[in-house]
Amino acid sequence: MISPTAPSPHSISRPFKVLGIQQIAIGALDKAKLRTLWVDMLGLEVTGTFQSERENVDEDICVMGAGAFQVEVDLMQPIDPDKKPAVHNTALNHVGLWIDDLPQAVAWLGAHGVRFAPGGIRPGAAGFDICFLHPKASAEFPIAGEGVLIELVQAPLAVVHAFAALAAHPG
């Protein structure tokens, strides 16, 4: 339910568009079990790996679908299970959204009270610029993911154009 003081979502003019799902990220203490399901059983292709001490993650980057509508599925385990971020807790770690203009989105969302996780815009595991919306709101930034970490991902031009073509000619 929208609060009576909040503007109607349909009346807000945004300088960016959320185009679609870019990725889902799934965590476990041991990503081998995740690979058994997602790669061996479901047939996703592993296209790369990524490790980051700072983000406490060792991940396999997998894909499903094709072309501009390909969706990334990251299978993650913590480098150190006792450190944060705890990429295995919860199992569905975060959802990634393609954004047509990431810097505009970050500026606009921040100005409208959306809380971001630390780190700002930076290169992500798959090579696209990223940033994260914090899962918890604060007094200063009252809008957040309500328990869900949300990754905003700069869409490459091919993805922006593919979604624009789909919107222009649905079905």
Is 130 a domain residue?
Answer: yes
For residue 43, give its domain range: 15-168
User: 30: domain CATH number?
Assistant: 3.10.180.10
Is 1 a domain residue?
Answer: no
pLDDT in tens, the chain (171 residues): 444 455 556 678 999 999 999 999 999 999 999 999 899 988 999 999 999 999 999 999 999 988 888 999 999 999 999 999 999 988 888 999 999 999 999 999 999 999 999 999 999 999 999 999 999 999 999 999 888 899 999 999 999 999 899 888 877
Is 100 a domain residue?
Answer: yes
Burial class (CB in 10 A: 0-12, 13-18, 19+), 17: middle
The per-residue pLDDT for 1 is 42
Is 8 a domain residue?
Answer: no
Q: Between the CA atoms of 38, 53, 125 and 44, what dihedral angle is there, to the nearest 10 degrees?
A: -10
Is 94 a domain residue?
Answer: yes
Is 109 a domain residue?
Answer: yes
- The structural domain count of the chain equals 1
